[in-house]
Amino acid sequence: MTGFNLPAVLAIYHFEMARTRRTLLQSIISPVISTSLYFVVFGAAIGSRIDQIDGISYGAFIVPGLIMLSLLTHSISNASFGIFFPKFNRTIYELLSAPVSHFEVVLSYVGAAATKSLILGSIILATAALFVPLRIDHPLWMVFFFLLTAVTFSLLGFVIGIWADNFEKLQLVPLLIVTPLTFLGGSFYSINMLPPFWQAVTLFNPVVYLISGFRWSFYGVADVPVWISLAMTGAFLAVFIGIATWMLRTGYRLKN
């Protein structure tokens, strides 16, 4: 048996997806409710007082940012929990003793987490379509950004899940870093609306590039050039792949 352990990848993938299915209601209803709330608060209440941004109604403008917001947070939490939990309940012994390569482990956990956040993102997109008129100028690019972001941040989640040795740490990165960066990354505004100084500061926020690129695929307008958005996402992906590979190779926090 050399090459690729497909049965193992499928087994882990199905196991992870089954975990979601057990909490199916919660995993569908909660994003629908929270998205609706965003539209009620930002779209209807505040949006009615905000002019169009780049010729797009405010309600429609925030849709790509909202999807990115949940794509990021759910990719991270799904993947980090997926690998953290076997460590926590010690069933990880089986994975460590199985004839699976590092690549197969990453592929199955990250694949499952990315699948889940893609389903979630689609639900949010569908919910949003009920509230505002949506337009997708570059559907292929939209799907590409969608996939790339889900995979990239599922990988980050995987890395966090291995690094975390308790539940607090598991929450730490999403709560303290990712959520603030996402909110400040132009989910709800165009960075052109900021004073010049804060515009410059915002450019250090990596999430800006993700949201900008994604929004461009919808409405053809962007805060930063699209190729920079692509390059940044690719760079994240490369960095997270590097860290994950290093962790598995050294057995970091997995093996004694």
Partner 1 sequence: MATIIRINNLSKIYASGFRALNNISLDIRRGEIFALLGPNGAGKTTLISIVCGIVTPSEGSVSVGGHDIVADYRASRALIGLVPQELTTDAFETARGTVAFSRGLFGKAPNPGLIEKILRDLSLWDKRDNPIISLSGGMKRRLLIAKALSHEPQILFLDEPTAGVDVSLRRDMWQLVRRLRDSGVTVILTTHYIEEAEEMADRVAVINKGEIILVEEKAELMRKLGKKQLTLQLDPPLETLPPGLKSRALELSPDGRQLTYTYESSDEESGIVPLLEDIRQAGIRFHDLQTSQRSLEDIFVSLVKEEA
Closest to partner 1 by CB, 5 vs 127, is 5
Residue 22 lies near partner 1 (rule: CB under 8 A): yes
Q: Are 204 and 182 in contact (CB under 8 A)?
A: no
Is residue 247 close enough to count as binding partner 1 by CB under 8 A?
no
Of 18-26, 72-80, 118-126, 221-229, the window that binds partner 1 (rule: CB under 8 A) is: 18-26
Alpha helix stretches (DSSP H) within the chain: 6-22, 24-38, 58-88, 92-97, 102-131, 139-163, 167-173, 179-183, 196-202, 206-219, 226-250
Please tell me what DSSP assigns to residue 23: T
Nearer to partner 1, 56 or 100 (CB): 100
Largest CA distance in the chain: 64
Contact call for residue 8 and partner 1 (CB under 8 A): yes
> Looking at 17-25, 51-59, 159-167, 218-226, which segment touches partner 1 (CB under 8 A)?
17-25
**Distance (Å, rounded) from C-alpha 35 to C-alpha 134?**
15
Q: Is 1 in the site for partner 1 (CB under 8 A)?
A: yes
- Output 95 or 237, the one with its CB closest to partner 1: 95
Instruction: Give ∠ CA 189-27-236 in degrees, rounded to 5.
Output: 50
| Closest of 40, 39, 45, 46 to residue 62, by C-alpha | 39
* Binds partner 1 (CB under 8 A): choice among 180, 225, 242, 251: 251
Which of positions 76-135 make contact with partner 1 (CB under 8 A)?
89-91, 93-101
Size of site (CB under 8 A) for partner 1: 28
User: How far apart, in whole angstroms, are the C-alpha atoms of residue 98 and residue 100?
Assistant: 6
Contact indicator for 125, 118 with CB cutoff of 8 Å = no
- Binding segment (CB under 8 A) for partner 1, from list 12-20, 53-61, 116-124, 191-199: 12-20
Least distance CB 188 / partner 1 (angstroms):
38
Site residues, partner 1 (CB under 8 A):
1-2, 5, 7-8, 10-12, 14-15, 18-19, 22, 89-91, 93-101, 251, 255-256
